[in-house]
A and B are shown apart, each in its own frame.
Chain A
Amino acid sequence: MPHDHIISAKQLSRADIEEVLDRAAEIDDNPAAFTQRHPGALLGLLFFEPSTRTKMSFTAAIKRLGGDVVDMGPVEYSSVEKGESLADTVRVVEGYADALVMRHPSEGSAKMASEFVDVPLINAGDGAGQHPTQTLLDLYTIRENAGLDDLTIGIMGDLKYGRTVHSLAHALTNFDATQHFISPESLKLPRSVRYDLHEEGATIREHTELEPILSSLDVLYVTRIQKERFPDESEYRAVAGEYQIDAQTLEEVNDDVTVLHPLPRVDEIDHDVDATEHAQFFEQAHNGVPVRMALLDLMLEGESA
């Protein structure tokens, strides 16, 4: 792993991504071989906003490599409450751990924090910005189910605020992938993301309806449309209803599409999809552990070398 810190999916080349996914596949094949990879290694957890799932996934990953966590705990009990800057917090905490994982509500926070520390720092979400480890586990799941080249993917839902979408779209520009973006007009990709995708020469198409393209997709990546993005409940209901899928639609239009979702979902994927072959979103969530193990393994390996 040539990077000291993992801040954004943008920094990851195809070779970087493949290195992590290949290592994750090795771990998946034989997890027992990795249980003593990093005995005593300590991962510092700095979650400035709650994200139980991501935190559990990282905790499981470091423990399965033989290490452990030191956790800042909830912000209410920390020095942050007393007005300490993020730059100071990370400089103190880096002394307690071999690597840091950080989730913070402000965009650019992980990049800034990484400029103040020497231990590897992994961005586990910075506001509406980036969430690169989610992207890596998404890519791993896509590779397992459909392959990353010659891929046609539909990404649907809240494309404006969805950081998992931004990271994934960028990472896919490393592969031979055609990306379709399906969203209500008000939740289209932001300008900065569209700019990046064009810069990378990506093939992207934007739609307001799923139906016309559903049959062409290998993978449909669904994200949640949040109520808070709309002025009132009725408008939200009307719009969100257009971006829901169920088993019947999938069977009729495209019976071998893989359906993914970063979870948690509300009702954008009907529960009747869960029992079908399409549903890979729980598998996707489980893949977080081997993928984060792989990333930590590569980063810690680099540290001790």
Chain B
Amino acid sequence: MSDDEQLRVSKIPRGTVIDHITGGEAMHVLSILGIEGGDGDTVSIVMNAPSDRLGTKDIVKVEDRELSQAELDVLSLIAPAATINIIRDFEVVEKDRVSRPEEVAGVLSCPNRNCITTGNEPVESRFDVLAEGVRCAYCGTIVRDDIADLID
């Protein structure tokens, strides 16, 4: 991050900074993380900051929180260029790019209302990740746009 950006959002003692989120997708990132504002997490958001790589980008900082692999997997679908910075004692201790998984399980719900995974069955949703979009492993429905809308 440049100094300029650091001014926009102050450093955090401990937690995760998700940088290079596709501009405008920050709110979706929050919903992937299950952050609705009511649970007391300290969250800072920058939206539509200028970015050399992306044109505009969003940044999300979440204090006292690290991301699960499932969360990272879904994140990669809506923000493929995102970088994940793990912060401890105000320092970046780990920096990772998200990578597209082969499948995502348990995070998205199938938009096909007639799909068995949307009923009352003891089964996790599972989507295969395609070059463009995702596909329900059970009913075969393909979703290209608005994947974030499928987050449970």
Chain A residues within 8 Å of B, Cβ to Cβ: 83, 85-87, 104-109, 111-112, 115, 126-129, 191-192, 195
Best-surrounded residue of A85, A86, A105, A107 (most CB of chain B within 10 A): A107
Judging by beta carbons under 8 Å apart, are A111 and B121 in contact?
no
Q: Does any Cβ of A come within 8 Å of B117's Cβ? A: yes
- Least Cβ–Cβ distance between A163 and chain B, in angstroms: 11
Supposing A87-B123, A112-B121 touch, asked if A192 and B135 sit within 8 A by C-beta, the answer is yes
Chain B residues within 8 Å of A, Cβ to Cβ: 112, 114-117, 119-123, 135-142
Interface of A: prevailing SS? mixed
Judging by beta carbons under 8 Å apart, are B142 and A108 in contact?
no
Residues of A within 8 A of B140 (CB): 107-108, 129, 192
Q: CB within 8 A of B138: which of A83, A85, A87, A107?
A: A107
Residues of A within 8 A of B123 (CB): 87, 112, 115
C-alpha gap A111/B137 in the complex (Å) = 9
Shortest Cβ distance from A129 into B: residue: B139
Supposing A87-B121, A87-B123, A108-B136 touch, asked if A192 and B141 sit within 8 A by C-beta, the answer is yes
- Least Cβ–Cβ distance between A87 and chain B, in angstroms: 5
Judging by beta carbons under 8 Å apart, are A108 and B116 in contact?
yes
Residues of A within 8 A of B136 (CB): 108
Judging by beta carbons under 8 Å apart, are A107 and B139 in contact?
yes
C-alpha gap A128/B116 in the complex (Å) = 12
Residues of B within 8 A of A109 (CB): 116
Q: CB within 8 A of A112: which of B112, B116, B135?
A: B116
Shortest Cβ distance from B118 into A: residue: A106
Q: CB within 8 A of A86: which of B112, B114, B116?
A: B116
Best-surrounded residue of A86, A87, A108 (most CB of chain B within 10 A): A108
Judging by beta carbons under 8 Å apart, are A107 and B114 in contact?
yes
- Least Cβ–Cβ distance between A303 and chain B, in angstroms: 25
C-alpha gap A126/B112 in the complex (Å) = 13
C-alpha gap A259/B115 in the complex (Å) = 33
Judging by beta carbons under 8 Å apart, are B114 and A112 in contact?
no
Q: CB within 8 A of B116: which of A83, A107, A195?
A: A107
Judging by beta carbons under 8 Å apart, are B117 and A108 in contact?
yes
Residues of B within 8 A of A128 (CB): 114
Q: CB within 8 A of B142: which of A105, A129, A191?
A: A191
